[in-house]
Homo-oligomer: A and B are copies of this chain.
């Protein structure tokens, strides 16, 4: 039975507060949920509660776990209707985008009931503990250890790049449970309460200033056995599943890296100020080429998405998009900086309008590192799409 679009439209119209239809201005307008979350307004809280009550924070999840049990098609209708009234997402979280899909596929019944419903209601905020200082692109070489101590695992080690670890209630992470096995075969997927004794976090300052990233330390942390997801030593299967998910999200959802509007606008403004053409013909040539390459890359995104929807699979093609979007975005910020000249160089390490461009420029350098480096993407294209041989 398909969703009733009319009923839905009326319900949204009646239940989405006016404030929640304003464009999102920044991180402070995002509802992350969790034990320590401070709602920015009563409307934000109300909107979350109303949507969660209908299972609309996670519309495709089963009703038993806090979802609405919608088909992807019906969920798309919900998305359409929300966009129609410019409704903000009621809840954003790594629990929804990352842990949820993993638990739905690999978790046991008790884990699903316990964790999924709380994610759906925004009660628990999750973070992801994958990368380690020695394990970046080669994630499977991670060294955080979880020793079997009978009724619990004893976890020791360090994670890095854990986004919002300092704000999260729980962490899902990979730890080595069999140090003697081959590196992909001795890893398990664990859920850890951040309030456990021995867990600590430290925010990471980037070259661009403050960031949501943290280092997370585990010092003799006791983790109950029931917090193991899937089979012991088979955590890599879950990680792989989630990495594919994440890359899809970055290349598919994070499409703003293909948007050339900011550069076009800045170039137009400079040309206008100079009374016609951009005064520097060499810079102008580079900007025109970036516009062309952005157009072409955005056309590929559109083509791939439509081909995937029409029955194909995005699959390894997501590596093409991830690579291209990252490289383009870096190039675009270089050009924005050049256009801005001395004005773009102002930076005092804090956020604020004077530092904004430099801050964004610096942050863009991470695009080709996070979520799989450009080098890893090229490896994927070479091996999985072009089927070039390994050595």
Point out residues on A near B: beta carbons under 8 Å: 281-282, 284-286, 288-289, 391
How close is A214's CB to chain B, nearest CB, in angstroms?
34
With beta carbons under 8 angstroms apart, the residue of B282, B284, B286, B289 that contacts A288 is B282
Complex Cα distance, B390 from A391, in Å, reads: 13
6 A-B pairs besides A282-B288, A285-B285, A391-B391 with CB distance below 8 A are: A281-B281, A281-B284, A281-B285, A282-B285, A282-B289, A285-B286
How close is A339's CB to chain B, nearest CB, in angstroms?
15
List 9 contacting pairs A-B, 8 Å CB cutoff, sorted by A.
A281-B281, A281-B284, A281-B285, A282-B285, A282-B288, A282-B289, A285-B285, A285-B286, A391-B391
**Chain B, residue nearest A284 (CB):** B281
How close is A391's CB to chain B, nearest CB, in angstroms?
8
If over half of A's interface residues share one DSSP class (helix, strand or loop), that class is named, otherwise mixed; here it is helix
Q: Which residues of B contact A288 (CB under 8 A)?
A: 282
Q: Which residues of B contact A285 (CB under 8 A)?
A: 281-282, 285-286
Q: Which residues of B contact A284 (CB under 8 A)?
A: 281
Q: Quick one: which of A281, A286, A289, A391 has the most chain B CB within 10 A?
A: A281
How close is A335's CB to chain B, nearest CB, in angstroms?
13
How close is A226's CB to chain B, nearest CB, in angstroms?
44
Complex Cα distance, B288 from A12, in Å, reads: 59
How close is A274's CB to chain B, nearest CB, in angstroms?
14
**Chain B, residue nearest A281 (CB):** B281
Complex Cα distance, B288 from A282, in Å, reads: 9
**Chain B, residue nearest A278 (CB):** B281
Complex Cα distance, B284 from A286, in Å, reads: 12
Complex Cα distance, B282 from A286, in Å, reads: 8
How close is A301's CB to chain B, nearest CB, in angstroms?
26
Complex Cα distance, B288 from A286, in Å, reads: 13
- Give the 9 A-B CB pairs with smallest separation, nearest first: A281-B281, A285-B285, A282-B285, A281-B285, A281-B284, A282-B288, A285-B286, A391-B391, A282-B289
Q: Which residues of B contact A289 (CB under 8 A)?
A: 282
How close is A282's CB to chain B, nearest CB, in angstroms?
4
How close is A225's CB to chain B, nearest CB, in angstroms?
41
Complex Cα distance, B391 from A285, in Å, reads: 41
How close is A294's CB to chain B, nearest CB, in angstroms?
16
Complex Cα distance, B286 from A284, in Å, reads: 12
